[in-house]
Amino acid sequence: MIDERKQHILQAVIQDYISSAEPVGSRTLARKYDLGVSPATIRNEMADLEMLGYLEHIHTSSGRIPSSKGYRLYVDSLLPVKPMTDAEKAIIDKWYKTKVQRIDQVFQETAKLISKMTKNVSLVLAPQISKAAFKCMQFLPLDDHRVIAVLMTDAGFVENRIMEMPDGASFEDFQRMAQVANGHLSGHTLETIHTKSLKQIESAIGDKGLYDSAFDLISKALDSDRREHLYLGGTTELMTQPEFHNVDKVKEILLMLEEDQLMKDILRSHLGDGLTVSIGQENEYSGIKDCSIITATYHLDGELLGSLAVLGPTRMEYGRTMSLLNYMNQNLNEVVKRLNW
């Protein structure tokens, strides 16, 4: 660890650079921050911090900027607590109340809200339906020959299909089958529903044709929604950041964001880790070596469901963004519960 004076100077450099996006010099620090030492001493300390790898020198300027190592020390040890304000909380609460009425809107609107409040790219990895627990199956009459089959999970996800009724079957038969299925499967995650359980239901129903047509719903749900859904927000926000006025640099990042599976893999690598911060050169992929990613996992009744993330320049407001993701995490849980129960 560096000594306390160097820590204060490093903290001042990072806070000034975050707000100004301009390399920071010793005279600027002496004028704007009460560090208790002369500009000459600050200059010497900044030179030491550069030698230790915490600061970098921009050759076209006399000032310095933080390195990934400097940001890491700042985030781990020097970051001032910046809780959400009442006004910011009110914006979030109002957004969910006015924008979200159905479960399928939650994650898309969450991505929009995060990008709106951080002015960076937001990523929301929605849960796999196969990870969700079976809540109920029900059927709604459509006409004399068809029904609407509905499967709902505990996370509020709904799969529905229009299904043909087998010859000789009635709507009451489908209602009876739903009752049997709900009794056997309630609480089980879709991915743990085994053939043995389904065979028991088939036996209880006593009609293979009826069983086959209805349980096509579960198999299609597993086949079509086995992968997580990734929602992006604010991709154009990057272009407003001074670091990304270089078209080639921002183009590389935007092309990377289009790689849906790659971004899912990046977010998935942080699942279960709580709140994580990956800074600059710490990122595995070359396209985001000039970026930081802050990721928060979210849960429903203790079960891990997915993640929220902010992608932006290393010069991002770490404290505010981390507080925002924590608060959003709590709200996402409550919103899902409100829509589902």
Which residue matches tokens 């001074």?
Answer: 242
* Least confident window among 47-51, 227-231, 288-292: 227-231
Give mean pLDDT, residues 10-32: 94
Residue predicted with more confidence, 265 or 190: 265
- What percent of the chain clears pLDDT 90, i.e. is strictly above it? 37
Tens digits of per-residue pLDDT, 87-117? Answer: 999 999 999 888 887 766 888 899 999 999 9
pLDDT of residue 211: 74
Which pTM value belongs to this model? 0.75
Tens digits of per-residue pLDDT, 277-318? Answer: 999 989 988 788 889 999 998 877 777 778 999 999 999 999
Structure tokens at 299: 């849960």
pLDDT of residue 157: 62
Q: How far is it, in rounded angstroms, from Cα 131 to Cα 120? A: 29
pLDDT of residue 127: 67
Assess whether pLDDT exceeds 60 at residue 234. yes
3-state per-residue secondary structure call for 206-217:
CCHHHHHHHCHH
Assess whether pLDDT exceeds 50 at residue 143. yes
Which residue matches tokens 């911090």?
Answer: 49
pLDDT of residue 68: 94
Using alpha carbons only, how large is the chain's radius of gyration in Å? Answer: 26
